[in-house]
């Protein structure tokens, strides 16, 4: 049987399974039963992306299935392999979707992940554009041994590649005690090959979310995935017909397939690659997708990769807990003269973690001293904020918080591997020097664990933090001579441009004005460029000729103008990885804000995913706006429409995050005490009319403001 025939046979098998499962579901639930995937605004995303059909009921799914079957032509042309491959992927989505028609969470009691939420898709945005995740691999089948499976998975993980597992390799990973889950970027997607539908759903949603690809535009979907999603497949022998057909879909999307199956397989240059030696899978795969891995050599006894940033270390698995909430702990960067620093010196004053009782808490202070002719004191807090990311990349080490509220847990396994405090010093030294080499010539790390010394130095650190805060408070949009662009996200959202100002951080929440300033200093030709502010058009809107020229230039003409302080008139565009989205609530004349993590309903009658589907991809959508969490408390938030007083509802968890700063802003702008208590949340109501009643009861200022529409 030739390759074409194997693809056709596999497609037939997958479609037959989909038709059987769909018919059974209709018989059980009825033709008008709802068909809703959880936490997404993109319906059944594969069907939506490739056909434009919105599936909301089983009857819709039955009609869509006819479109899928029509793709399966049988001419011996490459195009027919691709069409059959995509049809196979869509049929896989249908098989999985039927499970969700019967149960809201069919994988609740299993290790398998199943469906990916829109929030998870958006969560990938920043690490993808910064190349912390340089690519994706889908591993299908079973390795010859558990050890081989372990080496392959950990090899990809150590290179930052996001790993999806399908089939028996999941059992192998379990037997080797590999930590799995979305947070650590090794996802046991499903036991059966049709769980690949969830992965394709994630990929096509990325095209619609970040790339503004329109549903039903077949060519645009595949062009986006080929050019901007760096993925590939590893399939262990023996590869059955259905997997071969799925491979046809993967290749259609630009994802090469690498397999060790030398029987009944045919080499297709750059697309279907036969690699008999599975120990070479990784290098062969990276080369096939032209992925270059930047490696920073760090002398520590555990693995180091961005894949470990989401690792959670439980109390029972902890050797030591450096707890800034109960003990004196802190992190600080200080600028020194070159003669005051011995490069790569790591100094520990006090006991190491092998000198304390396992499971104990201890204090620790970390001072990173840097020197360089281009170093500026404004860069110090920028570097400090990165410590969280740097330390978290060590396997078995968990870091949370910043400044003097840090918490670092070292796991029992990391300790047994030989991890000690000096290795945190090695991490900080290596990453600070490599990430900021253009401004730092020398770096040394001082680590303190003596309680008396930590108490003394923490007090000194707080004086530094207070001085910085005072400086930052003085940084307003009016007080600086320039803003900055940020176009990091253009690798996924080609026409989006952020304008970052002192009072408006990037919508991803990760880029402040100081971050952008530091980025420009570090790389004058990089993603952050100076935007002058010489030609003001409208102060209320935050409209500048200079800004319009910048967004037109850096969006390659896709945008003509944006305002910085309005949600209604030429609002700033969004890429798709925003922390929050704000939308007009017409009953109250205010706005609802919802953060990415919130999965519930809002008074707009839409979830975050549904609201977010109305913006993103570099498209301007008056009345909706993506933004960072901390922009909510800015005095420039929606200034053109009256400011933060327009906020009528947000999730309770988000309200707690912005509570203190938003209350302070409301006090300064409107003389209102405890403004946050006036804002509704899910514990008050998710209904628009009930929200209006609540606003009247608490005397919310929005009721006295001019109409938005």
Q: What is the largest CA-CA distance in the chain?
A: 80
For 386, phi then psi, to 5°, come to -80, -15
Q: 91 near 573, Cβ under 8 Å? A: no
- The residue whose two tokens read 């680590």 is 447
Start-to-end Cα distance in the chain: 64
CB atoms within 10 A of CB 90: 29
CA distance 378 to 303: 32
Helix (H, G, I), strand (E, B) or coil at 580: strand
pLDDT tens per residue across span 548-571? 999 999 999 999 999 999 999 999
The answer to whether 624 touches 708, Cβ cutoff 8 Å, is no
For the cut 90, the answer to whether the pLDDT of residue 294 exceeds it is no
pLDDT band at residue 78 under the 50/70/90 scheme:
confident
Task: Answer yes or no: is pLDDT of 330 > 80.
Answer: yes
Q: Residue 692: which residues within 8 A CB-CB, separation 6 or more?
A: 587, 588
pLDDT beyond 90 at 145: yes
d(CA 184, CA 686): 33
What is the distance between the alpha carbons of residues 180 and 486, in angstroms, rounded to a whole number?
33
What's the pLDDT score for residue 491? 87
Query: pLDDT grade, residue 522 (50/70/90)?
Result: confident
In the chain, the percentage of residues whose pLDDT exceeds 70 is 100
What mean pLDDT is predicted for residues 416-435? 97
For range 511-522, the mean pLDDT = 90
Mean local confidence (pLDDT), 443-452: 98
pLDDT classification of 615: cutoffs 50, 70, 90: confident
Residue 492 has pLDDT above 90, yes or no: no
DSSP letters along 322-384, please? EETTTS-EEEEEEE--GGG--TTEEEEES--GGGS-TTEEE-EEEEEEEE-TT--GGGHHHHH
At residue 131 the predicted structure's pLDDT band, cuts being 50, 70 and 90, is: confident
pLDDT, tens only, 168-181? 999 999 999 999 99
126: confidence class by pLDDT, cuts 50, 70, 90: confident
Q: Please state, in angstroms and rounded to a whole number, the distance separating the CA atoms of residues 287 and 290.
A: 5
Mean pLDDT calculated for residue range 335-344: 97
- The answer to whether residue 6 scores a pLDDT higher than 80 is yes
How confident is the model over 511-531, as a mean pLDDT?
91
Average pLDDT for 697-705: 97
Tokens of 531: 């935007």
In angstroms, what CA-CA distances link 9 with 81, 90, 171, 243, 300? Answer: 11, 16, 28, 10, 50
Residue 489: the pLDDT is 92
User: Mean pLDDT throughout 116-133?
Assistant: 90
pLDDT in tens, 580-614: 999 999 999 999 999 999 999 999 999 998 899 88
Res. 473 pLDDT band, cuts 50 70 90: confident
- Is 90 exceeded by the pLDDT of residue 239? yes
Give me the chain's average pLDDT, please.
95
Section 677-690 average pLDDT: 97
pLDDT in tens, 189-227: 999 999 999 999 999 999 999 999 999 999 999 999 999
pLDDT at 451: 97
605 within 8 A of 622, measured Cβ to Cβ? no
Give me the percent of the chain exceeding a pLDDT of 90: 89
The domains of the chain, with CATH numbers, are 3-288 (3.40.50.2030), 306-461 (3.30.1650.10), 482-704 (3.40.1470.10)
Question: What's the confidence (pLDDT) of residue 129?
Answer: 84
CA distance 194 to 166: 9
> Please, which residues have CB within 8 angstroms of residue 554's CB and are 6 or more apart in sequence?
485, 487, 490, 497, 529
Q: Are 258 and 288 in contact (CB under 8 A)?
A: yes
User: What pLDDT score was predicted for residue 669?
Assistant: 97
Residue 113 predicted with pLDDT over 90: yes
Task: Tell me the per-residue pLDDT of 49-64, one tens digit each, with 9 for 90 and over.
Answer: 999 999 999 999 999 9
d(CA 477, CA 500): 10
* Whole-prediction pTM: 0.89
The pLDDT of residue 76: 79
Find all residues with CB under 8 Å of 602, minimum gap 6, and list them. Answer: 592, 594, 608, 611, 649, 686
Q: Which residues contact 539 (CB under 8 A, 6 or more apart)?
A: none
- Closest among 245, 240, 271, 249 to 258, alpha carbons compared: 271
Bridging pattern class, strands 345-349 and 442-448: parallel
Output the six-digit token pair for 56: 């909301």
CA pair distance 694, 470, nearest whole angstrom: 37
**According to the model, what pLDDT value does residue 48 have?**
97
Whether the pLDDT of residue 616 is over 90: the answer is no
Residues 186 and 165 sit within 8 Å (Cβ to Cβ): yes
What mean pLDDT comes out for the span 140-154? Answer: 98
Check pLDDT > 80 for residue 407.
Answer: yes
């Amino acid at each position: 049987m030739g390759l074409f025939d194997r693809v056709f046979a596999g497609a037939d098998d997958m479609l037959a399974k989909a038709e059987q499962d769909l018919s059974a579901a209709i018989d059980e639930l009825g033709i008008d039963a709802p068909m809703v995937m959880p936490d997404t605004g993109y319906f059944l995303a594969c069907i939506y992306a490739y056909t434009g059909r919105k599936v909301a009921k089983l009857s819709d799914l039955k009609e869509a299935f006819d479109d899928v079957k029509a793709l399966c032509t049988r001419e011996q042309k490459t195009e027919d392999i691709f069409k059959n491959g995509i049809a196979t992927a869509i049929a896989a989505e249908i098989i999985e979707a039927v499970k969700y028609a019967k149960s809201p969470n069919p994988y609740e009691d299993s290790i398998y992940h199943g469906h990916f939420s829109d929030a998870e898709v958006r969560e990938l945005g920043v690490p993808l554009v910064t190349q912390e995740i340089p690519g994706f691999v889908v591993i299908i089948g079973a390795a010859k041994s558990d050890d081989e499976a372990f080496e392959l998975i950990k090899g990809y993980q150590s290179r930052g590649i996001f790993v999806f597992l399908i089939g028996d390799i999941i059992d192998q990973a379990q037997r080797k005690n590999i930590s799995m889950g979305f947070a650590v970027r090794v996802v046991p997607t499903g036991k059966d090959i049709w769980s690949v539908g969830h992965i394709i759903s994630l990929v096509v949603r990325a095209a619609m979310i970040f790339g503004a690809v329109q549903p039903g535009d077949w060519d645009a979907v595949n062009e986006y995935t080929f050019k901007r999603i760096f993925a590939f497949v590893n399939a262990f022998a023996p590869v059955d017909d259905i997997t071969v057909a799925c491979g046809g879909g993967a290749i259609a999307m630009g994802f090469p397939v690498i397999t060790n199956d030398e029987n009944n397989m045919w080499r297709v240059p750059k697309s279907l690659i036969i690699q008999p030696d599975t120990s070479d899978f990784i290098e062969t795969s990276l080369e096939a997708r032209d992925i270059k891995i930047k490696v920073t050599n760090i002398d520590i006894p555990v693995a180091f990769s961005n894949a470990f940033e989401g690792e959670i270390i439980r109390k029972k698995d902890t050797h030591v807990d450096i707890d800034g909430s109960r003990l004196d702990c802190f992190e600080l960067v200080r600028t020194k003269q070159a003669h005051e620093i011995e490069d790569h010196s790591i100094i520990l004053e006090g006991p190491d973690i092998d000198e304390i009782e396992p499971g104990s808490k201890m204090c620790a202070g970390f001072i990173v001293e840097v020197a360089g002719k281009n170093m500026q004191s404004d860069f110090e807090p920028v570097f400090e904020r990165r410590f969280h990311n740097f330390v978290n990349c060590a396997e078995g080490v968990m870091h949370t918080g910043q400044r003097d509220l840090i918490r670092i847990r070292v796991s029992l396994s990391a300790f047994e591997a030989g991890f000690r405090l000096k290795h945190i010093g090695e991490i900080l030294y290596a990453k600070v020097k490599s990430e900021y080499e253009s401004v730092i010539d020398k770096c040394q790390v001082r680590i303190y664990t003596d309680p008396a010394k930590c108490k003394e130095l923490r007090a000194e650190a707080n004086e530094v933090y207070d001085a910085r805060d005072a400086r930052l408070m003085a940084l307003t949009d009016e007080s600086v001579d320039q803003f900055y662009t940020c176009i990091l996200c253009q690798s996924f959202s080609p026409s989006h441009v952020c304008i970052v100002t002192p009072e408006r951080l990037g919508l991803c929440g990760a880029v402040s004005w100081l971050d952008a300033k530091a980025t420009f200093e570090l790389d004058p030709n990089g993603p952050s460029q100076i935007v002058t502010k010489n030609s003001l058009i409208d102060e209320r809107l935050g409209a500048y000729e200079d800004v319009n020229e910048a967004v037109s230039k850096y969006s390659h003409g896709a945008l003509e103008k944006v305002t910085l302080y309005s949600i209604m008139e030429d609002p700033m565009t969004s890429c798709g990885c925003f922390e929050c989205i704000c939308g007009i609530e017409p009953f109250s004349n205010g706005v609802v804000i919802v953060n990415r993590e919130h999965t519930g309903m809002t008074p707009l009658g839409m979830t975050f995913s549904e609201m977010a589907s109305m913006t993103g991809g570099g498209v301007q959508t008056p009345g909706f706006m993506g933004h960072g969490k901390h922009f909510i408390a800015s005095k420039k938030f929606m200034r053109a429409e009256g400011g933060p007083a327009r906020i009528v509802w947000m999730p309770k968890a988000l309200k707690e995050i912005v509570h203190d700063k938003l209350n302070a802003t409301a006090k300064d702008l409107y003389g209102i005490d405890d403004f946050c208590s006036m804002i509704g949340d899910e514990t008050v109501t998710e209904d628009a009319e009930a929200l209006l009643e609540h606003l009247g009861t608490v005397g919310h200022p929005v009721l006295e403001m001019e109409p938005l529409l």
